[in-house]
């Protein structure tokens, strides 16, 4: 299977009050196409820094990152921005959307930015509507972002994140601002999107979220200290067994 993401000897260092803080220390790993990988670890372990560094939102201090065959660490700022737009999708805990646009317009905006020609807009609108139907939010298409629930807004963010058919989807605590019911709904959609072929890397502190993934990386003090592989959700009908397996592994890791 081809690699969607390859990370080699990644380091990230910050200088704070003339002191060197090594947040990421020679991290290497790969994610295969079609995988759904969670990164877990205690607060301050480097989870979000890792996600931001491999997705091009932040520049690593050293090391290399590849999305398929493209090395991100050598790209200019302009090329990196184009790479994020065309080949990556992003979901965050805080659901950032433009207040002056309705839900549908927010979803299709990245595709409008990627395809400048007006002749493409009919196709984009059709695809945006299709994604909204898949995620059961068609009825809020014309709503302002303040007129929908948190769960609906996060599902809209998922639609926006995959409108350009990215090579990989990055998610930072995608259910962190949601209640348990909305979190379950959002994760069902992310699992379905993954089963349809989208590669996903997410950061989470929620064991129930991580248990939906096929692989979990455990990061501690800027290093990956272990990983756990779980069967695909299609192969494992008992979610409780997955959660118990993950829980025992996390305890062994010092969680």
The residue ranking higher by pLDDT, 95 or 250, is 250
Please report how the helices 150-162 and 103-114 are oriented relative to each other, as an axis angle in degrees rounded to 10.
20
116-139: pLDDT as tens digits: 776 689 999 999 999 999 999 999
67-71, 92-96, 111-115: which range is least confident on average? 92-96
State the DSSP code for 102: B
Neighbours of 5 (CB within 10 A): 23
> Could you list the residue range(s) of the whole structural domain that residue 34 is in?
3-252
24-60: pLDDT as tens digits: 999 999 999 999 999 999 988 999 999 999 999 999 9
pLDDT at 240: 86
The CATH number covering residue 58 comes to 3.40.50.300
Number of domains present in the structure of the chain: 1
In degrees, to the nearest 5, what angle opens at C-alpha 114 toward C-alphas 109 and 118?
Answer: 75
- Among 171, 102, 175, residue whose Cα is nearest residue 139: 102
230-253: pLDDT as tens digits: 987 776 557 888 999 999 999 999
Neighbours of 241 (CB within 10 A): 13
């Amino acid at each position: 299977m081809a690699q969607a993401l390859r990370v080699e000897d990644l380091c990230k260092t910050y200088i704070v009050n003339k002191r060197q803080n090594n947040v990421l220390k020679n991290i290497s790993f790969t994610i295969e196409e079609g995988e759904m990988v969670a990164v877990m670890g205690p607060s301050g372990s480097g989870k979000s820094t890792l996600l931001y560094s491999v997705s091009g939102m932040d520049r690593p201090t050293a090391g290399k990152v590849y999305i398929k065959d493209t090395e991100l660490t050598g790209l200019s700022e302009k090329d990196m921005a184009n790479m994020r737009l065309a080949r990556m999708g992003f979901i965050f805990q805080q659901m950032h959307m433009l207040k002056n646009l309705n839900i549908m317009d927010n979803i299709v905006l990245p595709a409008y930015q990627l395809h400048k020609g007006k002749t493409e807009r009919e196709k984009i609108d059709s695809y945006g509507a299709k994604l909204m139907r898949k995620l059961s939010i068609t009825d809020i298409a014309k709503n302002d972002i303040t007129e929908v629930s948190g769960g609906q807004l996060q599902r809209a963010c998922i639609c926006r994140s995959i409108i350009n058919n990215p090579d990989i989807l990055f998610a930072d605590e995608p259910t962190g601002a949601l209640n348990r019911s909305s979190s379950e709904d959002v994760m069902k959609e992310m699992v379905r999107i993954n089963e349809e072929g989208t590669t996903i890397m997410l950061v989470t502190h929620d064991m129930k979220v991580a248990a939906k993934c096929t692989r979990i990386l455990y990061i501690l003090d800027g290093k990956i200290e272990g990983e756990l592989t779980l069967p695909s959700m299609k192969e494992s009908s008992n979610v409780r067994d997955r959660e118990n397996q993950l829980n025992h592994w996390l305890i062994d890791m010092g969680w």
